[in-house]
A and B are shown apart, each in its own frame.
Chain A
Amino acid sequence: METIWFIFVALMVTMYVLLDGFDLGAGAVHLFAARNDRERRTIIRAIGPVWDGNEVWLIAAGGTLFFAFPTLYASGFSGFYLPLIIVLWLLMIRGLSIELRGHINDPMWASFWDAAFFVGSSLLAVFYGAALGNVVRGVPLDENGNFFQPLWTDFSPFSDTPGILDWYTVLIGLLALTTLVVHGSNFIAVKTEDDLNARSRRIARGFSFATVLLTVVATLATFWVSPEMLRSFNERPYGYVLPLVAVAGLIGMVFFDLRGRDREAFLSSGAYIVGMLTSTVFGVYPNVLPAVDPANSLTIQNASASTYSMTVGLVWWSIGMVLAAVYFIVIYRLFRGKVRL
């Protein structure tokens, strides 16, 4: 039962990154992909009907985490207090920039919110990557499940007291940024025509090479930082199918971006994201938050809710998921095709 809920939470986080990932990526590149107000408005309109719905997956994943693994929720939200609040502020700034940009028709007003949209989106991508990096590397949990880490320390690979942002987590943050830039640019390319389409395709192409390079570096760094990852895969070799999905996505991403096949490229960057995230959580399992001292690690066993609540939750979660799936299918069908102002 704990494993089922572990998979549910992982699934919801993956859905979040897959969906909000492309509108974050679109925010990170819109200053460079779009050259004038009309093109910027085209990008905002492309994500306009879906971005806030996409973000609900984050809230839903957080809610499910609270329900299924309350100890992890308590420990993580206290330990990562400052970075989580910063993420919240970035989400607020980004949401405001999308909503307020069109309210006053003035170049200064629009460019201010464009800048806010860019900063919010890019930093969120880096912070999400860094968050994942922290979960992989583990945190200094004590026997009560509490921990504190400074936001940053000295960024040294040999530091005894690594910060929440250090060389490894920032590396993962940069990988998340290039990945979402590719994913977002592919989305813009799918949704637009002419110059904007060509420019975002070129950005996707450039950043897909950067993503390949960073993937290699980040994978090596991950196995160095957390040898348990490799052990998980060797103990349960069927898990190797997940990194294969990531590699296939990576190859597809480069291949289709070079060929200019936007839809296939977008699906490939999606497959890459799914492969990378599922590989990571597979490697972390059965931990949900590894500790520096393995005896204090939070696992699916010691962090989960009671079996009774998890059984009852199964019913409601399923109903909720069916409703969410219907909503997302309807909304994406309604707004399919190229965006024209």
Chain B
Amino acid sequence: MIAGVLASLWMLWVLMLAIPFPFIANTAGWLTAELGRQPWLAYGLFRTSEGVSPLVSSGSVLFTLIGFAGMYLIMGLLYIVLMVREVGHGPEGGGDVLESPESLTA
């Protein structure tokens, strides 16, 4: 019964389109936790305004923010490219990846 559902075409579409959901859930969870806690850094103990590093310039912060955005943009694009390639290979094409040294990574 379950095998039948998993093999049906509409379920395969749902599974494939569900790939972004864990990322959305993860990010939304972080945003909820971090934004929901404002204006506290440690709830009820320590305000965000008290936790600012006085000697880190806003220029440095902007620079690193752009840097991180760039890094994650590139990582996201790489992820999509590799994911699309993998999907394109179909179920039999996974052999390459399994033999790569990274699969031994702990």
Contact = CB atoms under 8 A, between A and B. Distances in A.
A103 B100 contact: yes
A317 B85 CA distance: 44
Interface stretch (A45-53, A159-167, A229-237, A292-300): A45-53
Tell me the dominant secondary structure on chain B's binding face: helix
Chain A contact residues (Cβ within 8 angstroms of B): what range?
20 to 34
Interface stretch (B9-17, B19-27, B53-61): B53-61
A331 B106 contact: yes
Contacts of A143: none
Contacts of A77: 53
A49 B53 CA distance: 38
A89 B106 contact: no
Contacts of B82: 100, 103-104
A89 B67 contact: yes
Contacts of B102: 44, 48, 98-99, 101-103
Contact of B56 (A78, A98, A101, A335): A78
Contacts of A92: 71
Given A104-B85, A105-B96, A89 B71 contact: yes
A296 to B, nearest CB: 14
28 contacts: A41-B101, A45-B104, A48-B104, A48-B105, A49-B106, A50-B106, A74-B53, A77-B53, A82-B60, A85-B64, A85-B67, A92-B71, A96-B75, A96-B78, A99-B102, A99-B105, A100-B82, A101-B102, A102-B97, A102-B100, A103-B82, A103-B97, A103-B100, A146-B53, A146-B54, A146-B55, A148-B55, A331-B106
Contact of B60 (A50, A81, A98, A104): A81
A79 interface: yes
Interface string A24-46: 00000000000000000100110
A304 to B, nearest CB: 19
Contacts of A89: 67, 71
A147 interface: yes
Interface in A293-318: none
A89 B100 CA distance: 25
Interface in B57-106: 60, 63-64, 67, 71, 75, 78, 82, 85, 96-97, 100-102, 104-106
A301 B55 CA distance: 24
A39 to B, nearest CB: 12
Nearest to A44: B101
Contacts of B106: 49-50, 52-53, 331
A147 B55 contact: yes
A101 B56 CA distance: 36
B105 to A, nearest CB: 5
B96 to A, nearest CB: 6
Contacts of A82: 60, 63-64
Contacts of A44: 101-102
Contacts of B64: 81-82, 85
B105 A81 contact: no
